[in-house]
Structure 1
Amino acid sequence: MALLPAAMRSILRARSTRVRRAARDLQAGGGGGGSSLLRRWQSSLPQLDHVDRSDDEIDWDNLGFGLTPTDYMYVMRSSPEDLGAFPRGELCRYGNIELSPSSGVLNYAQGLFEGMKAYRRPGRAGYTLFRPEENARRMQFGAERMCMPAPSVDQFVSAVKETVLANRRVPPQGKGGLYLRPLLMGSGPILGLAPAPEYTFLIYAAPVGNYFKEGLAPINLVVDDEFHRAMPGSTGGVKTIANYAPVLKAQMDAKSKGFTDVLYLDSVHKQYLEEVSSCNVFIVKGGVVATPATKGTILPGITRKSVIELARDRGYNYKVEERLVSIDDLIDADEVFCTGTAVVVAPVSTVTNKGRRHEFRTGPDTMSQELYTTLTSIQMGLAEDNKGWTVAVD
């Protein structure tokens, strides 16, 4: 224990205190029910693997966007007795979790996830998070749609901070970030189609580099008018796990033909842009920046929201529109780029539609490059944050 950083020792002491308090509270419930609930809570926690994952074996210069295990994850549960609240949270060793075969998430995809990054501060200790309260609110919005309870904003942000501090495998400044994946799932058993009786909130982390194999080089998209990511009245506007497996077929087909990813059209008219598999899309024509409006079928990305605000700050040069963006608008554009937590701002070199390839401007004098530099400088603490977007983790 003496070899651990002071912050880590404090976290582990707090965890131990919470475990003992939870045990007393559960046992105080009386009868076999309290003891049964305690045993279920303890047995479903990840087993301690006692693996010391130091960061000296990671090649930070060639770090891609893959799963590199970290030391700790955060777990919090809401049982029927908690009436929709999340009273207990624990830092646990990173590892497998136990789920009932009839859990709501496995049988009915009752689950949500978020994505966010922590960066090392330049020239000093500590880390920065980018707008974590936005992720918390988006999870709450999605939870309401999926009939799930959700942690409060304060609980969410506090859990994220604890997870960052507990894990040392954060890339050096300029080499990437610590990607954080908060999950909310129906972990309780249910057979009939109904909300699960118990829910688990979990955060794990992994050091990551660039999302696309091209790195910061321009990407190449293909329009798919056969497969659709979402439809009106469905769940395209929330970050549910059910939105992502359906795009894998189209994405794998595209990559087998040499494309980076797929650009999806609306499912009704098949002529308006929606988004790419895991990111939002923008086009630039003259002094106008346009992106598809989020009206239930498009995920309201936090990077998207931030980029819109940054572009509007440059109002003397650019006008920003959230509207229907047709495939013809895209073809006529000067520039195209994608935004997302994983990709940040990714310039698009080409879009292929119906076998015809369309090229767009890329390079240092583009809107996408300007926005990428501005946004990442704020995220990494290299520029002053005049918007209050970053949250310090000490």
Structure 2
Amino acid sequence: MVDIKWEELGFSYIKTPYRFIAHWRDGAWDEGTLTEDNQLHISEGSPALHYGQQCFEGLKAYRRKDGKINLFRPDQNSQRMNRSARRLLMPMVPEELFLKGVKETVKANEEYVPPYGSGATLYIRPLLIGVGDNIGVHPATEYIFLVFCMPVGAYFKGGLTPTNFIVSEYDRAAPKGTGADKVGGNYAASLMPGKLAHERHFSDCIYLDPETHTKIEEVGSANFFGITAENQFVTPKSPSILPSITKYSLLQLAEECLGMAVVEGDCPIDELDRFVEAGACGTAAAISPIGGIQNGEDFHVFYSETEVGPVTQRLYDELIGIQFGDIEAPDGWIQVIEV
């Protein structure tokens, strides 16, 4: 095992030995291969550099108690990447190739998968970019599909500890734009609002719907959920929200395991008092409880600024238990890598 202090890991880049790379040329993908080179060699005219013709995914590998490795719903990441690719006129990455790249990357870097019980995971980043000699605003003629990985700790400092967020005056995405796709431009647009939130000592910012600025859409790069006193699990519904695999998993777990009513609908920013608990969810963050939200001059506290709410804790325990193999998963949710 490599010499890493697993419990001290943050969410930052670590070079691991191997990554998977495949090329699309002349209308077809090659079979792909593992490489030790973590530098991409592409044309200066690549549309990914000039026009943002690129998309990516994020998923994790989890070390089980028996030493095997779990992947959590990687087929859903494959499908979401292809939805993003379709929006940007890029070739689909066949699910077979996507899963091959993910699994070969994990197996080749197996010693970097954190041990069970450490609280750390192996973060996996599939990436699809348009490359080749180009200068006009049109789709690339060649593409690269890349998968690399690194061990990570908690995305937000403190792990499952409530943190505070602030409503941003900036928009994350435009109506009928690329908000529902995992493309780099959405994240580039979030850098300044995120920086402004951090300067005011908030974990990140809350984005409202770009059309009316009245409804919660996303929490930084994560999805929002709220728990009502009537035992409802509520999450925003909008065509400009990235469909989080974690969120849809929580919707199912809330309904089937906790017996909650689940609602995808509007979450007006001026109706925060309907929620007794709130949180952000996504692959990187898993679940991050929200202590409070600053909205203009008003600061609304949910369950607590220091303690995790009981429903959020139960959802977290169920999700993490499934991901690490301690709780039986719904059919098709887990793919096991034998090592």
Letter in 2 for 1:111: Q
Q: Which residue of 2 aligns with 1:108?
A: 51
Query: Which of residues 117, 122, 136 in structure 2 aligns to 1:192?
Result: 136
For residue 256 of structure 1, what is the amino acid of its counterpart?
Answer: E
Aligned to 1:141: 83
CA distance in 1, matches of 2:293, 2:213: 16
TM-score (norm 2): 0.95
Matched, 1:261 2:204: yes
1:380 to 1:249, Cα distance in 2 relative to 1, 3 A: same
Corresponding position of 1:180 = 124
Matched position secondary structure for 1:345: strand
Shift of 1:364: 5.4
Distance 2:232 2:165 in 1: 22
- Larger % of strand: which? 2
More helix per residue: 1 or 2?
Answer: 1
SS at match of 2:171: coil
Task: Please give the TM-score of this superposition, normalised by the length of structure 1.
Answer: 0.82
Residue identity opposite 1:116 in structure 2: L
In the other structure, the counterpart of 1:76 is 22
- Partner amino acid for 1:67? Y
Max Rg structure: 1
- Give 1:322's match in structure 2, choosing from 228, 250, 264: 264
Please report how far the alpha carbon of residue 94 of structure 1 lies from its aligned counterpart in structure 2 after TM superposition.
4.1
Gaps of 5+ in 2: none
Query: How far apart, in 2, do the equivalents of 1:179 and 1:94 lie?
Result: 18
Say whether 1:55 aligns with 2:31.
Answer: no
Match of 1:166 in 2: 108
- Report whether the alignment pairs 1:66 with 2:12: yes
Name structure 1 gaps, 5 residues minimum. Answer: 1-53
Give deviations 1:327-352, integer Å, cap 9, x for gaps.
12324321111110000011111111
- Give % identity: 39
Counterpart CA distance in 2 for 1:315 and 1:214 is: 26
Residue aligned with 2:39, SS: coil
Aligned to 2:289: 347
Instruction: Point out which structure has higher relative CO (alpha carbons under 8 A, 6+ apart).
Output: 2
Aligned to 2:153: 209
Q: How many angstroms apart in 2 are the aligned matches of 1:393 and 1:221?
A: 37
Shift in CA distance, 364/276, structure 1 to aligned 2, threshold 3 Å: closer
Distance between the aligned counterparts of 1:257 and 1:331, measured in 2?
A: 23
Counterpart check, 1:299 vs 2:242:
yes
Aligned length: 333
1:93 aligns with 2:36: yes
Offset of residue 63 of structure 1: 0.8
Equivalent AA in structure 2 for residue 369 of structure 1: Q
Q: Does structure 1 residue 120 correspond to structure 2 residue 67?
A: no
Structure 1 Cα separation of the partners of residues 159 and 133 of structure 2: 42
Whether contact under 8 Å (2:24, 2:142) holds in the other structure is: yes
3-state SS of 2:93 partner: coil
Cα distance in 2 between the residues matched to 1:122 and 1:177 = 13
Matched, 1:384 2:328: yes
Q: How does 1:32-47 map to 2 (within 5 A)?
A: none
Q: Offset at 1:386?
A: 3.4
Alignment root-mean-square deviation, CA: 1.3
The reply on whether 1:240 has 2:187 as its aligned counterpart is no
